[in-house]
C-alpha cells in the first residue's frame, strides 16, 4: 500500500492492521471470500461484536463509535468493512432476543451473525414454535456464519397473520447453520470477497423463543444503543462504508494517469474531495446530535432522525457522483496494486446498489 493512512483511520484501526487488511484484499477477491488473515483480525478485534455488550464478550460500543470504526475499516478494505458492518450490525439484535438465546447465539470468540432483511420466508405456527421455510438473498459473511437471521411472514392455518393496520406480520428468527443450506449465488462485479450468498430453509421447526421483535419497546437490554431506531442505524452504518471507500478512491485517483490535462483533473478531484469532506462532517454531526439527545433525554426527536437519514443519503449521493465523474478520467498506473483503483470503484458501485439507497439515488431526492 503506497497510500498515506489518514489520521481519522489510524485513530480507529492500528496502521499495521490497516496494512494487513489491505495486503490481502487482492487475494481475498480471487478467493471470493475474506482471506483467513483478514478473518483472524476481524475475530481478534471483535469487529463482529461491536454492538454486543461486554457482558457477553463484545465491545459494547456506542453507535457513533461503531460508525467511525466501520468507515475506517471500509477505507482499509471495502469487503472487510462491509462484512464487519453487516455481521456486526446483526449482532445488534442481541438487544431484542430472550436472555437464554443471547447466550446461545451471541456469545463466543467466533460469533458471526449473517442474514437478510428480505421478508422472503414463511413461519407457520406449529405447536410451541414455528415451521420455517424460505430463501433469503445477500447474506454477507454467509460462509463464516455461526447464526443466521431470517425475516418471515407469520402464518396461522396456512394464512398470513395480519396486524391492526391490515399488513402482514413479519418477524425475524434465529437459525443454526445446520438448519440452513447456503448456495453460492453471489456474482456481483464488486464486493466479491463479501461472499454475500443466499441461504435456504425447508420446513425446519424452531421453538418460539428464537423469534424476536425489533422495536425500542421490545428491547430486553438496557443499553441506549438498542433504543436507537433500526432504520437510521442501518442508513448511517452503510453510508459510513461507502464514505470510507470513496475517500480511498479519491486518494488513489490522485496518483492515476490521465487522458486529459492533469491540472484540469486535479481541479475536479479537489472539488469532489471538498464536497465529500463537507458532507462527511455534516453526516457525523447529525449522528452525534441524535445520539446525544438519546443519552440526555431518552428519546430522539423525529426531526433529528430525519436529519440522520438525509445526511446519510446526501453523503451517499455525493459518493455516487464522485466515482461516476472521476473514474472515467483515470487510467490505472501499470503495476499499481493489481488494479486497485478499479477494485475500489467496483466495490463502491456494488455497495451503492443496496436496496436501502437504490430508490432514493434513482430519483435523486433528499427532503
Q: What domain range includes position 67?
A: 7-95
CATH number of the CATH domain containing 331: 1.20.140.10
Q: Is residue 108 part of a domain?
A: no
- Half-sphere exposure for 71 (CA within 13 Å, toward CB): 28
Q: Which pLDDT band holds residue 172 (cuts at 50, 70, 90)?
A: very high
**Statement to judge: residues 344 and 242 lie in one domain:** yes
Query: Where is pLDDT greater, at 43 or 261?
Result: 43
Q: Is residue 102 part of a domain?
A: no
Q: Is residue 106 part of a domain?
A: no
**Statement to judge: residues 147 and 242 lie in one domain:** no
DSSP letter at 227? G
**Statement to judge: residues 232 and 359 lie in one domain:** yes
Query: Where is pLDDT greater, at 1 or 194?
Result: 194
Measured distance CA(325)–CA(205) in Å, rounded: 51
**Statement to judge: residues 53 and 153 lie in one domain:** no
Query: What pLDDT, in 10s, does the model give residues 89-123?
Result: 999 999 999 999 999 999 999 999 999 989 999 99
Query: 276, 240, 293: which is closest to 88 by C-alpha?
Result: 240
Query: 136, 20, 14: which is closest to 72 by C-alpha?
Result: 14
**Statement to judge: residues 291 and 316 lie in one domain:** yes
Q: Is residue 103 part of a domain?
A: no
**Statement to judge: residues 236 and 358 lie in one domain:** yes
**Cβ contacts of residue 101 below 8 Å, gap of 6+?**
174, 209, 210, 212
- 260 has a pLDDT exceeding 70: no
**Statement to judge: residues 66 and 130 lie in one domain:** no
Query: What pLDDT, in 10s, does the model give residues 198-220?
Result: 999 999 999 999 999 999 999 99
> What's the confidence (pLDDT) of residue 125?
97
Q: How many domains does the chain have?
A: 3
**Cβ contacts of residue 208 below 8 Å, gap of 6+?**
128, 129, 130
Amino acid at each position: 500500500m503506497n497510500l498515506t493512512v489518514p489520521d481519522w483511520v489510524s485513530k480507529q484501526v492500528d496502521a499495521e492492521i490497516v496494512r494487513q487488511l489491505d495486503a490481502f484484499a487482492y487475494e481475498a477477491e480471487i478467493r471470493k471470500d475474506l482471506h483467513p488473515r483478514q478473518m483472524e483480525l476481524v475475530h481478534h478485534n471483535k469487529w463482529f461484536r461491536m454492538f454486543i455488550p461486554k457482558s457477553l464478550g463484545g465491545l459494547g460500543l456506542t453507535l457513533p463509535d461503531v460508525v467511525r470504526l466501520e468507515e475506517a475499516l471500509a477505507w482499509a478494505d471495502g469487503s472487510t468493512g462491509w462484512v464487519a458492518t453487516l455481521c456486526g450490525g446483526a449482532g445488534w439484535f442481541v438487544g431484542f432476543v430472550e436472555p437464554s438465546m443471547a447466550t446461545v447465539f451471541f456469545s463466543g470468540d467466533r460469533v458471526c451473525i449473517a442474514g437478510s432483511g428480505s421478508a422472503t420466508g414463511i413461519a407457520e405456527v406449529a405447536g410451541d414454535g414455528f415451521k420455517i421455510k424460505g430463501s433469503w438473498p445477500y447474506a454477507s459473511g454467509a460462509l463464516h456464519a455461526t447464526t443466521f437471521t431470517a425475516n418471515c411472514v407469520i402464518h396461522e392455518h396456512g394464512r398470513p397473520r395480519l396486524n391492526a393496520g391490515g399488513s402482514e406480520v413479519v418477524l425475524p428468527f434465529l437459525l443454526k447453520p445446520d438448519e440452513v443450506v447456503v448456495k453460492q449465488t453471489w456474482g456481483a462485479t464488486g464486493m466479491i470477497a463479501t461472499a454475500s450468498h443466499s441461504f435456504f430453509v425447508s420446513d425446519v421447526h424452531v421453538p418460539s423463543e428464537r423469534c424476536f421483535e425489533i422495536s425500542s419497546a421490545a428491547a430486553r437490554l438496557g443499553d441506549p444503543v438498542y433504543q436507537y431506531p433500526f432504520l437510521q442505524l442501518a442508513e448511517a452504518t452503510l453510508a459510513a462504508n461507502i464514505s470510507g471507500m470513496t475517500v480511498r478512491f479519491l486518494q488513489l485517483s490522485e496518483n492515476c494517469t490521465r487522458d486529459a490535462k492533469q491540472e484540469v483533473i486535479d481541479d475536479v478531484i479537489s472539488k469532489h474531495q471538498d464536497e465529500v469532506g463537507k458532507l462527511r462532517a455534516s453526516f457525523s454531526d447529525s449522528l452525534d446530535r441524535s445520539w446525544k439527545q438519546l443519552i440526555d433525554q431518552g428519546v430522539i426527536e423525529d426531526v433529528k432522525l430525519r436529519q440522520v437519514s438525509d445526511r446519510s443519503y446526501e453523503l451517499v449521493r455525493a459518493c455516487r457522483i464522485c466515482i461516476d465523474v472521476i473514474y472515467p478520467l483515470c487510467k490505472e498506473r501499470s503495476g499499481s496494486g493489481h488494479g486497485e483503483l478499479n477494485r475500489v470503484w467496483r466495490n463502491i458501485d456494488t455497495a451503492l446498489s443496496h436496496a436501502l439507497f437504490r430508490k432514493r439515488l434513482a430519483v435523486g431526492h433528499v427532503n
